[in-house]
Structure 1
Amino acid sequence: MIDRRAVRVEVLLLLGVSLGRSAILSVLAIIDRLTYVKPLSEQTATLNPSVTPDRPWLDLAYQLTYAALGFVAPLLAVYLLRRDHEEWRLGVRPASDLGWGAGLAALIGLPGLGLVWVAQELGVSARIVPEALGTRWWSVPVLILAALQNGVLEEIVMIAYLLTRLRDLEWGWWPAIVTSAAIRGSYHLYQGFGGFVGNFVMGLIFGWFYRRTNRVMPLIVAHTILDIVSFVGYALLKDHLAFLR
């Protein structure tokens, strides 16, 4: 029998050192943006900034370290799930995962681009800069690694782990999915309200998919594809398309 009190504490602690912490900091960030001298629409949110642009070797070390540390929380989540649910598996099916992942990425990505544009036109989002690593030889591989890390972290922690744990606490499916989606949206608030809405909707769709299939790998694939297109696409095209500058 699962100890519900222990599960509540576990959930709060895991979120507190990972995406829950990011949500709290993001709420503070949007308050900062809204009370800043410049309007929100004139501010910039950089997703993959350079840390030490004058020392590329150290910048690479920072980027790789950040990416590596980002895998710790999902690994812990998998460990905790397997401890209490021995039957739980990632269930890797390469062809199926890629197919479903690509389909989900298209479903979410195309309307998402429109939402970003509308939010910026309405002045409720900052200008999003997907990367600022420069043209170093390692920039694209690092961006791909960052995209993979984001997909693994968010989908394992927010979908596979959190929904399973909330179900352990006897939450209904939809209250659990909405809660997960709200947290997902919250840790994107630093981008503005467009980031919140887009990621909240994404969380609802991903939560529904997990409920229907009990599979998280297609969600990891979809999230990774979306971020690769955003990060790498921007890096490759920003000098050629004026509206990206």
Structure 2
Amino acid sequence: MNHTRTTTTPAEAAWIVILCFGWFILASSQSVAAGFQSGDFSDSAMLPTLAMEVLCASIALLVLYRRGYAVASLYPAPTPAGIALGIGLYGVSLYASWLAVMPFVTSSPQPIDELMARASISLPTIVLFALINGAYEEIFLLGFLLRGLRGHGLSLALGISLLVRVLYHLYQGPLGAVSVLAFGLVLSLYYIRSGALFPAVFAHVLADIVPFM
């Protein structure tokens, strides 16, 4: 089988989204329904999440490979230049998120602030989580979904990718969702322009580590 395909169909994309993000979207929706009272950032909570991501990624990549998809094209290629670009991209995304959130800031604490306040997660878990989660999200949101659906229209591909990203971050609250949307938009636009996945992955890794530092 010639594994050169990097495009996807809406049906295939839907199945991969359900597999890779369905459980997380459901959990995030349940958190919203419960008044943002569920969930926490701790070793006992994050390690099972990482195990779920590894399992879902393994299944998704195997399924795509067996369907003739160029799975190797989804693997980020680390380079010193990519690290430097990732740092810059993180800075730009941080500023964009701040600009997006500022018009809506209130004195009321946000769910994401309360989650961070009661976080009890060790540094090794933070780093492990950032490395796996950053790669997982950007591989499937940018490398697979955004790139794969571009043949159906760039606006559609971008919109679906951003929608999925926001849906499984709803547990962070309204301002958290706005921040995630701005962050995802910056990474998406960079990926559309450059086609380079690793800088986006590295920027996401930093976004997962820095707030805990």
Instruction: Give the TM-score band, short-chain normalised.
Output: 0.7 to 0.9
Measured in 2, the distance between the counterparts of 1:28 and 1:154 equals 20
Q: How does 1:126-145 map to 2 (within 5 A)?
A: 126=111, 127-130=113-116, 132-133=119-120, 139-145=122-128
* Aligned amino acid, residue 97 of structure 1: G
Measured in 1, the distance between the counterparts of 2:96 and 2:129 equals 23
* Aligned amino acid, residue 105 of structure 1: Y
Residue 220 (structure 1) aligned to one of 195, 201, 205: 201
* TM-score normalized with structure 2 length: 0.78
Percent pairwise identity: 24
Q: What is the aligned partner in structure 2 of residue 198 from structure 1?
A: 179
Structure with max Cα Rg: 1
Residue 96 (structure 1) aligned to one of 77, 81, 86: 81
* TM-score normalized with structure 1 length: 0.69
Equivalent residues of 2:74, 2:143 under 8 A apart: no
Which blocks of at least 5 consecutive residues in structure 1 are unaligned?
A: 34-42, 52-61, 234-245
- Structure with the higher helix share, 1 or 2: 2
Residue 48 (structure 1) aligned to one of 41, 51, 60: 41
Q: How does 1:100-115 map to 2 (within 5 A)?
A: 100-112=85-97
User: How many residue pairs were aligned?
Assistant: 205
Q: What is the aligned partner in structure 2 of residue 83 from structure 1?
A: 68
Equivalent residues of 2:96, 2:186 under 8 A apart: no
Measured in 1, the distance between the counterparts of 2:161 and 2:74 equals 20
Q: What is the aligned partner in structure 1 of residue 23 from structure 2?
A: 21
Q: Which has the higher contact order (CA 8 A, sep 6+)?
A: 2
Classify 1:194/1:10 alpha carbon distance in 2 versus 1 (closer, same or farther; 3 Å): same
User: Once the two structures are superposed, what CA deviation does each residue of 1:52-80 show, in whole Å capped at 9, x if it has no partner?
Assistant: xxxxxxxxxx7545424323334445552
Which blocks of at least 5 consecutive residues in structure 2 are unaligned?
A: none
Q: What is the aligned partner in structure 1 of residue 129 from structure 2?
A: 146
Classify 1:227/1:63 alpha carbon distance in 2 versus 1 (closer, same or farther; 3 Å): closer
User: Once the two structures are superposed, what CA deviation does each residue of 1:159-208 show, in whole Å capped at 9, x if it has no partner?
Assistant: 111113323xx321122112211221121111111111111122222111
Offset at residue 157 of structure 1 (A): 1.0
Equivalent residues of 2:126, 2:209 under 8 A apart: yes
Equivalent residues of 2:24, 2:168 under 8 A apart: yes
User: Once the two structures are superposed, what CA deviation does each residue of 1:45-103 show, in whole Å capped at 9, x if it has no partner?
Assistant: 7552353xxxxxxxxxx754542432333444555269323783535141111011000
Classify 1:91/1:188 alpha carbon distance in 2 versus 1 (closer, same or farther; 3 Å): closer
